[in-house]
Amino acid sequence: MFRVMRPAQLAVDVGIAVACLLLRWAIGLGSFPLWVVVIAMAGALALRRASPGLALAIAWAGAVIQMSTHLPPDISNIAVLAVLFTTARYGGRRTSWLGLASAIVGAILATAYMLVTPYIGIGVGNSAGFRLPGLPQVFGAATIGLAAALALLGLSWTLGLLARTWSTARESRRSQAAAEQTVVVEQERNRIARDMHDVVAHSLAVVIAQADGARYATGVKAKDDALGTIASTGREALADVRLLLGQLRHSEEAGPQPMLTDLERLFEQLRASGLVIVLRQHGDPLPLPAGQQLALYRIVQEALTNALRHGDTAEPVDVELDWTRDAATATISSVLAAPSAAAPAAGHGIAGMRERAILVGGTLTAAPVGNRFVVDARIPVSA
């Protein structure tokens, strides 16, 4: 029944009502019934936002007392306009419709009361020369008075409804902006998570392969080469991870953005880890945008990392880059560790590759074909 309001809001409403009551008292009050009407209107004014329904009931009680005691219209009746406004602005569905009905019924009653007043001698006296108005005059006055009352009371209710609509629209825009911001943040975090997975998974796979090779290496040079590869890979991974973590704290900082020109360096890293890579290119390389280059690089990186972890490293991994007029196609084919070995689980790696391809308007398939696991990605020149 009562709305939750801040103490400052309630204090303002009560203060306005008390100020209006004191002003009316300063102007002068007559009979006792008028006191009751003025206090009722002040009470409705004080409660108009805290409880629009209760304020409407109090205003109606004051109006009924005013008409039943034959009191003329008073300046305190202006409080009715504020009450009608708040029924539409802050009231519930039922209270809002009751406010509209009150505006219509109140306009009819106020017009009828004003027309009946001369006949009962209120405010006009009983002089000998007084003549009652005829029917045409009464009809004309009723029409004008009803139109004016409906316009005044109805406008107050309509303004409250418009204020409510504006407030709802503003809240909707604010909620939409917050939802869009949440989506943007979530997308950025997913992108960073994919980059983190690619960097860490690739680097750890190289480090593990080099460490395993160093354990069984007999020559000093082979051990030194393995340790050197481990050190350089670890430093690069650490730098990339620091940049990615920096992005989580400050989204304006740029993260690592490898391009297609870095593929040869990637191949050298993996070859140093014992992976045999056979590269074939068809057609002339196209100038892909940065987003497409990053997606293609990460897909090749993840596919080769999976080949190093799950494939037979004694067999070569075929990497084919096919350049056409409107797209670049990368096909990475590796032999599974054993004919009966299961394909790489569809975890973050394959899902991340597929998502990267989709985000730049491309397609990706990753599935076993016989004893080989084939990743085929098609990236359009412009998404």
Residues 236 and 195 sit within 8 Å (Cβ to Cβ) = no
Identity of the residue numbered 251:
S
Mean pLDDT over 202-227 rounds to: 70
What crossing angle do the helices spanning 263-272 and 220-249 adopt, rounded to 10°?
A: 130
Rounded to the nearest integer, the mean pLDDT of the chain is 81
Q: For residue 279, give the H/E element and its range.
A: strand 277-282
In the chain, what percentage of residues exceed pLDDT 70? 78
Task: Report residue 14 as tokens.
Answer: 């009560």
Cα torsion through 261, 298, 378, 270, rounded to 10: 70
SS3 content of the chain, % helix, strand, coil (to 5): 65, 10, 25
Q: Is the pLDDT of residue 131 over 70?
A: no
Which region among 77-91, 289-303, 318-332 has the lowest average model confidence (pLDDT)?
289-303
Q: In angstroms, rounded to a whole number, what is the distance separating the alpha carbons of residues 383 and 378?
A: 11
Q: What CATH number does the domain containing 325 carry?
A: 3.30.565.10
- Number of other residues whose CB lies within 10 A of the CB of residue 319: 22
Element at 335 (helix H, strand E): strand 327-335
- List, for residues 93-112, the tens digit of each pLDDT value: 999 999 999 999 999 998 88
Domain C-terminal end among 132, 157, 187: 132
Taking the whole predicted model, whether its pTM rises above 0.85 is answered as: no
Q: Which helix (H) or strand (E) holds 318?
A: strand 317-323
pLDDT above 90 as % of the chain: 30
Query: What is the span of the domain harbouring residue 359?
Result: 259-383
Whether 229 has a pLDDT exceeding 70, the answer reads yes
Look at residue 178 and tell me if it is in a domain.
no
**Residue 383 scores a pLDDT above 50:** no
Q: Does residue 163 form part of some domain? A: no
Question: CA angle, 68 as apex, 65 and 72 as ends, to 5°?
Answer: 85
Pick the last residue of a domain from 98, 132, 166.
132
Of 113, 132, 151, the position where a domain reaches its end is 132
How many domains, the chain? 2
For residue 223, the surrounding DSSP H or E stretch is: helix 220-249
> Predicted confidence band at 245 (pLDDT cuts at 50, 70, 90)?
low
d(C-alpha 87, C-alpha 93), whole Å: 9
Contact 241, 340 (CB under 8 A): no
Q: Above 70 in pLDDT, residue 140?
A: yes
Among 278, 268, 282, residue whose Cα is nearest residue 332: 278
- Which residue's structure tokens are 């202006």? 78
Assess whether pLDDT exceeds 90 at residue 382.
no
In a domain, 299, yes or no: yes
DSSP state letter for 49: T
Contact 214, 222 (CB under 8 A): yes
pLDDT tens figures, 6-51? 889 889 989 999 998 888 888 877 778 888 999 999 999 999 999 9
Would residue 140 count as lying in a domain? Answer: no
- Position 320 in a domain: yes
pLDDT at 128 over 50: no
Alpha-carbon distance of 110 to 102, in angstroms, equals 11
Average pLDDT of the segment spanning 354-370: 87
